[in-house]
Structure 1
């Protein structure tokens, strides 16, 4: 576990926050510092701040996080479920238990390793550990992930995500029967003050988060919902569904103790719509539910009869 604990001196006042921290913590690049700020891990006077914040004398800067190993991701041959590809972007249907990019404890076997072998060239905006990665999905979440092959595409896709014009739809099987047909969860998400490895709905050092959902199918003790992300906070769907009392089935971090043998959380990114960076054409890509997810739904349907 790595800690940053700094107090700004007068001679450092008015320096950009990301530059100040990277200058003081020599082994952390500015991009790494920016990532910590975006994730709400690096705090200024116990508040979330931006990379371009000008530090002031006496500011207290603190972070506690798992250190990221600085290494270069190496190409690895692997079978990738490619759902769309051209010279600018590639959309992958990620399987369960695959980490998106290398980090401490996961230096090989990640999606990035496989992409480097397949694509040869990827956007370099996010550095050597996250080439082409515009957004992420959790290790145990299955489904669609869009990757940029060049910097122009990366900038375009990032801007679309920030302006909330990328449409991301997920299927989730959740505990309990949701009575209403649809709803919106508008609740800010930040680090859990009691457990820094978890996120939570909180007013402390949080960011706005909105998830729209509609009921697809009801079962005796479960509900299949489709969720649309308006924002993209860490663990957003998992935290929001727990918040309304309907946690995702199989989620070891936010749900009940094991109630079903499902091999992991039943959350799948099934549809992704974006504007192509070069042609301006609207592209929609879909990925069917994994077989194990479908099998569980079939068993629940049989129990209904």
Structure 2
């Protein structure tokens, strides 16, 4: 990564309202925060994209994740935070004091019943006993909800492996957690992953069905005997192939532990970076698995919610000429 040769205190970007410093103005600096009045109803991310000039979509998302945005003086990180006329949105160059310093996650949706996030690869969903001192999505979000009220809590609905990125959700009450988990197959309409696998997958699409078991070393595997373990069904479709890799769209019919990882190994195309399940390549420096889409019926309101994220750029880069 190239370093910016300019001094650390030199600002970048463009300012529409303030001209560059001239002779006699050397002591003046760009404002540390800008405020924007809200004139009509909408959501926070859309408002920022419309009003904050000189910053792209990813930069604005990063500002939200870092807690640099507040509404009426209160830090907000959820993309879909509702805005009403008369409110004021403030964008700061620095983290706002009461903002949660999220690491490895961004809030896509939050209401009084649940939180939906985009988790980055490398962040634990929730810690196991031997990982209690690690930063996790769970403990960061717990800290986040307790800022509103000390008795607030969050509850795990499902998990993503540490090295899997993408969309996941947490409940804000035990009742909502139980409602989601009990009716998971009926409530969740889409769970779509993107998988970067080794080799050229010849069949344009297919289905893998097996009975999964866990070994004494905590490694999942497909049993050779029907009915021996948990039934798992995975559907896949080839999106792109080349340079010794294939990019797959993977849809889960069931949600078993390590299901996609085992099934990709079963068809002879392990996920890139997944040495536990037979991969030889570490071409992208991470596991090639991303939870791209999650669509479900809200357990309280009945509203259909759908969250879709971009395919990680490293997954696509391996298909460019000269890579792989």
Query: Normalization by structure 1: what TM-score?
Result: 0.66
Contact 2:241–2:319 (CA under 8 A) maintained in structure 1: no
| SS in structure 1 at match of 2:129 | coil
Deviation at 1:276, TM superposition (A): 0.7
CA distance in 2, matches of 1:224, 1:266: 9
1:112 aligns with 2:138: yes
**Equivalent residue, structure 2, for 1:100:** 125
**Equivalent residue, structure 2, for 1:45:** none
Paired residue total: 217
**Equivalent residue, structure 1, for 2:265:** 242
Q: 1:278 aligns with which of 293, 300, 303?
A: 300
**Greater C-alpha Rg:** 2
**Equivalent residue, structure 2, for 1:201:** 222
Unaligned runs of at least 5 residues, structure 1: 1-75, 123-129
Query: What's the CA shift string for 1:253-281, capped at 9, x where partnerless?
Result: 10233x23422211000100000112211
Deviation at 1:162, TM superposition (A): 4.2
Deviation at 1:303, TM superposition (A): 4.0
Deviation at 1:205, TM superposition (A): 4.5
Going from structure 1 to structure 2, the CA distance change for 1:121 and 1:238 (only over 3 Å counts) comes to: farther
| SS in structure 2 at match of 1:188 | strand
CA distance in 2, matches of 1:98, 1:180: 33
Contact 1:121–1:149 (CA under 8 A) maintained in structure 2: no
**Equivalent residue, structure 2, for 1:78:** 102
Unaligned runs of at least 5 residues, structure 2: 1-99
**Equivalent residue, structure 2, for 1:263:** 285
Relative contact order: is structure 1 or structure 2 higher (C-alpha 8 Å, sep ≥ 6)? 1
| SS in structure 2 at match of 1:297 | helix
Deviation at 1:87, TM superposition (A): 1.1
Query: What's the CA shift string for 1:135-185, capped at 9, x where partnerless?
Result: 111111111111111233212211332447442100000111112221111
CA distance in 2, matches of 1:184, 1:165: 19
**Equivalent residue, structure 1, for 2:172:** 149
**Equivalent residue, structure 2, for 1:288:** 310
Q: 2:195 aligns with which of 172, 196, 199?
A: 172
1:135 aligns with 2:154: no
